[in-house]
Amino acid sequence: MIKDHQILRYEREFFSASFCKNRANLERRLADDFIEYGSSGAVHDRVSMIDALSGIVEDRLINIERFEVVKLSDAALLVRYISHDLSSNAYALRSSIWKLVGDEWKMSFHQGTPITKH
């Protein structure tokens, strides 16, 4: 089973420009059936998310607070946390579902919901 700190590292990778500009990293980390309900209300599939993330040119300064991993099964995890974007001072409730595909953990679902403060 994966350790909480490993999944936290995986979540943080999506805020790193050096990780995201390498499309192979994103293809490896996002499941084929990936979907995101973004904090803006937009819905993204795997291809559109890879396109968007690979265009990031600098690290996104986002703190992760109240991070928790809930084991749904031996092959599925629910991740919940609050993100704080330091550049815009915006907060969001975030949740992700990670599934074990072969021997790799891949994000299958992600959602961000804006909040005023926590």
Q: Which domains can be identified in the chain, with CATH numbers?
A: 4-115 (3.10.450.50)
Structure token digits, residue 93: 């409730």
What are the residues facing 101 on neighbouring strands? 104
Torsion of CA 18, 60, 10, 75, to 10 degrees: -130
What are the residues facing 68 on neighbouring strands? 80
Q: pTM here?
A: 0.91
Q: Residues for the chain: how many in total?
A: 118
Q: What is the pLDDT of residues 2-57, one digit of tens each?
A: 567 999 999 999 999 999 999 999 999 999 999 999 877 889 999 999 999 999 99
CA gyration radius, the chain: 13
